[in-house]
Amino acid sequence: MDLDAFAWLLTDAGQEVLARAVTLGGEDPLKAQSALRREFADVPAPYVAVAMSQAGLRRRATAKFGALASSMYFTPDGLEQATRLAVAEHRAARLVAFGAGTAIDLGCGIGGDLIAMARAGITAAGVDLDPERVAVARANLDALGLPVAVSVADATELDHTAFAVAFSDPARRTNNRSRGRLLDTDGWTPPWSFVLTLLARDACVKVAPGIAHEIIPEGVEAEFVSDHGEVKEAALWSGRLATVRRRATVIGEGGLATLTDEDDPGAEVRPIGEYLYEPDGAVIRAGLVTAVAAGVGGGLLDEQIAYVTGDQSFRTPFARGYRVLEELPYRERALRAALRERGIGRLTIKKRGVAIVPEELRRRLALEGPNEATIVLTRVADEGTCLLVQPF
């Protein structure tokens, strides 16, 4: 993004063009940009382009930032890495509960976490190596009326000890887009060695949810967070902020719920019961499937597969529940016959622990019928198993 064009976007003239670009959002992008150029013929084309880009990014950002997105500014990569607002607000609430009056964001990106901290009443500051992201973060904080200082600086060379808590969200994207996000620590910015120095004090570091448990230092809490069923991130809490070893936090329509290793007495493998439970992804990442099993008075279908079974019906924020109606044939030809016999034409396929691609299986089954059903394909006692289930 051209910083001069972005600076112009923040002027009265730029805001007028941006407002018009937003109203054209439902049209074809090329037609919308052509219309915008005709309407603002005296505005340089790069300035019109940055207004169109911001209008599009605001629409995409609504999923993460809700109503705030209409007042904010973004870069494509900055939006992708930014923390979802509900998750950032949960983190800020933990900092408030800890009593952190001040915090510094070491690698603040477009300012998503700073917004949540400031709205929670924390006196915060942010730094980032990228002048473009700092400009966007500063614009976001100004637009929302939040008094947060943001500057361009190298987090690894900064004395941040004056702040009660240090927060960092290392960039995990390589220059080679075919590799995507890094699940290991190679290439992180700031590097993993710097992260380890942060974790020696009161700090919080946002990491990918696929982080290997074995590299997490002793005494550091790993919190895995999902938002409406989708695992979003892991956060490493250190020093006095760490209260347990592993935690799963689930954010949903009913609010927030959390499960920790202290809630986990363990569970044994047992035969299929009347009910099946599919643990939330955050629970699985945190290694707390047995805690869910204990919570529903059940056990595991298999030691290596994240399904829980029991004889009682429970509603829990940590798992999706199903009533087991019957066991169907696992082999494809016999399964097709069984489903057709039941008049099933619309089929939801859940699977774990088996090498099946649901979309391909559904196509091969070629079902027709008025009824809808859900099946679970998994392994029980090392045998392929198909269960006809009903969500509840």
Over residues 134-170, the pLDDT tens digits come to 999 999 999 999 999 999 999 999 999 999 999 999 9
Rounded Cα gap, residues 226 and 280, in angstroms: 8
**What is the DSSP secondary structure assignment for residue 325, as one 8-state letter?**
E
pTM: 0.91
Over residues 234-288, the pLDDT tens digits come to 999 999 999 999 999 999 998 999 999 999 999 999 999 999 999 999 999 999 9
Q: Which residue has the tokens 């190298």?
A: 154
For residue 284, how far is the Cα from the chain centroid? 14
Alpha helix positions (H), 188-274: 192-198
Who has greater pLDDT, 118 or 191?
118
Residue 184 confidence (pLDDT): 64
Please name the CATH architecture into which domain 79-258 falls. 3-Layer(aba) Sandwich (3.40)
Between the ranges 28-32, 33-37, 85-89, 251-255, where is the mean pLDDT highest?
85-89
Task: Write the burial class of residue 102 (CB in 10 Å: 0-12 exposed, 13-18 middle, 19+ buried).
Answer: middle
**Helix, strand, or coil here: 236?**
strand
Residue 176 confidence (pLDDT): 44
Rounded Cα gap, residues 375 and 132, in angstroms: 49
Is residue 23 over pLDDT 50? yes
Residue 173 confidence (pLDDT): 57
Domain ranges of the chain: 3-60, 79-258, 264-392
Who has greater pLDDT, 332 or 189?
332
**Helix, strand, or coil here: 292?**
helix
As a whole number, the mean pLDDT across the chain is: 94
pLDDT band of residue 183 (cuts 50, 70, 90) is low
Summarize the confidence of residues 168-189 as an average pLDDT.
64
DSSP E strands: which ranges in the chain?
102-106, 123-128, 149-152, 165-168, 203-207, 221-227, 230-237, 246-252, 255-260, 275-279, 299-302, 305-310, 319-328, 344-351, 371-380, 383-391
**CATH class of the domain whose range is 264-392:** alpha beta
Q: Label the pairing between strands 299-302 and 275-279.
A: unpaired
Is residue 323 over pLDDT 70? yes
Is residue 26 over pLDDT 80? no
Residue 217 confidence (pLDDT): 96
Is residue 182 over pLDDT 60? no
Over residues 197-220, the pLDDT tens digits come to 999 999 999 999 999 999 999 999
Residue 246 confidence (pLDDT): 98
For 306, residues 6+ apart whose C-beta sits below 8 A from its C-beta are: 278, 279, 284, 289, 352
pLDDT band of residue 95 (cuts 50, 70, 90) is very high
Q: Dihedral through CA 201, CA 205, CA 211, CA 217, nearest 10?
A: 0
Do the beta carbons of residue 46 and residue 27 sit within 8 Å? no
Summarize the confidence of residues 72-101 as an average pLDDT.
96
**What is the DSSP secondary structure assignment for residue 317, as one 8-state letter?**
T
The length of the chain, given as a count of residues: 392
Provide the phi-psi class of 300: left if phi over 0, else alpha when psi is between -120 and 50, else beta.
beta
Tell whether omega for the bond before 190 is within 30 degrees of 0, i.e. cis: yes
* Element (DSSP H or E) covering residue 13: helix 12-23
